[in-house]
Amino acid sequence: MSDLLTRALEKRANTWSQMQEIQATAEREGRSELTAEEREKWDRAETDLNAASQDIERMERMARLDTVQRDQLIVAGGPAEERGEVDQEAAYRDAFGAFTRRGMSGLDNEQRQLLMSNMSEVRAQATSPGTAGGYFIPTETLARMTETMKAYGGILSLANVINTASGNPLNWPSNNDTSNVGAILAENAQITEQDVTLGQKTLGAFTYTSKLVRVSLQLLQDDAFNIDTWLPRKLGERIGRAVAAHLATGAGTTEPEGLFTNATAGKTGTTGQTTSVIYDDLIDLIHSVDPAYRQSPTTRFVMSDSALKMVRKLKDGNSLPLWQPSTQMGVPDTLLGYGVTVDNGVPVPAANAKSIGFGDVNAAYVVRQVSGGQMMRLEERYADYLQVGFFGFLRLDAKPDDTSAFRVYAHSAT
């Protein structure tokens, strides 16, 4: 663990202790409200806590990316076949970087053939890639793009993600037989029949685009600027923001159906709880999910940062905080013993809103991606500006799978 990460974890733990001491002082003195000075200290500490949490998340994400890079870039010490695969990936990555900066005219024959073997259809009634080409983003860069999307949408990192080569409708059978039970059979009695009912679910492929970005030739020619990784990351951020909102609350018609959109309420707040939740509500929400799912290692809470701020202030019957910040790398913050994933696509606390989810998201939600992310380069269109156009796109669809695995907390209407 790096010294920076260690210090950030310690800072978050200390800040959280300070906040708890402020609240404990008010409780010892029998006050239901904080003084102006205490409120000022609390708000300042909460700002520091959020900043430290963001720093920790960023450093842990970079640590994961470093692991991906090392796994892909080691070329010595392994079997010849493995080295060949890594060499091929490195060659493609180098060719992609040259294509990003200089276009097809800046490639040698081997690089051109390598890219064209992975080239997608780029425009109607035209096959020449000289002026407009679309290519898969290299694995290393795609990992960064995907990590960026996960940062904007925590649901994506938890869901069951299926990658397919084409965007044809993807069908799979569904069945819920949990209401059917066996029976004792009397001697010489005939066994009764009870059929298994099957359904079918389908995933398509909506096309997400980053919109067009124009880059000057001067910037492309600047070898000191790592454009071939920086630009896909920026395009990924744009796509990630759009995907994140839909994975949480998408309507399911002209966009993916969100995890929270039609989720069953495991607990609804009582009258007056339009923007609040209490300890008992969270317990009821947990137990609205069957133990078969609660025991899964991927079961957790999902909520927005605004909802997390709300639950951070809750305590159990022994005046102990429900939320426990982690002080170790790789160990998540917990709420009532379960991990917490923050996704700001989830609705914030409000009347009738479903602001907190709980369950096994991997079992409850499936995401279908087609061919990974791709990027296109438009060379001639903006030649008179000495600019090159770029845009990224990703084909994706998603919908709930096992709806019994996930429940939500719904605020009261009034």
Please give the Cα distance from 325 to 205 (Å, whole number). 38
Task: Note the pLDDT tens digit of each residue in 66-100.
Answer: 544 433 333 333 444 444 554 666 676 677 666 66
More confident: 183 or 120: 183
Strand partners, 161: 367
CA distances from 234 to 110, 148, 176 (A): 29, 9, 42
Predicted local confidence at residue 101, as pLDDT: 61
Predicted local confidence at residue 126, as pLDDT: 32
Predicted local confidence at residue 151, as pLDDT: 62
Q: Supply 176's token pair.
A: 């819920």
Task: Note the pLDDT tens digit of each residue in 258-306.
Answer: 999 999 999 999 999 999 999 999 999 999 999 999 999 889 999 999 9
Question: Could you say which DSSP state residue 344 is in?
Answer: T
Grouping H, G, I as helix, E, B as strand and the rest as coil, residue 228 is: helix
Within 10 angstroms of residue 313's Cβ, the number of other Cβ atoms is 14
Residue 112 has pLDDT above 70, yes or no: no
Q: What is this structure's pTM?
A: 0.70
Split at pLDDT 50, 70, 90, the class of 378 is confident
Amino acid of residue 401: D
345 contacts 307 by C-beta, under 8 angstroms: no
Give residue for tokens 């800072």.
11
Task: Note the pLDDT tens digit of each residue in 360-371.
Answer: 999 999 999 987
Predicted local confidence at residue 234, as pLDDT: 84
> What domains lie within the chain, and their CATH numbers?
134-175+196-414 (3.90.1690)
Containing H/E element for 360?
Answer: strand 354-360
Predicted local confidence at residue 128, as pLDDT: 37
194 contacts 401 by C-beta, under 8 angstroms: no
Predicted local confidence at residue 213, as pLDDT: 92
Split at pLDDT 50, 70, 90, the class of 323 is confident
Pairing of strands 338-342, 334-335: antiparallel
Please give the Cα distance from 140 to 70 (Å, whole number). 10
More confident: 91 or 247: 247
More confident: 324 or 272: 272
Predicted local confidence at residue 9, as pLDDT: 81
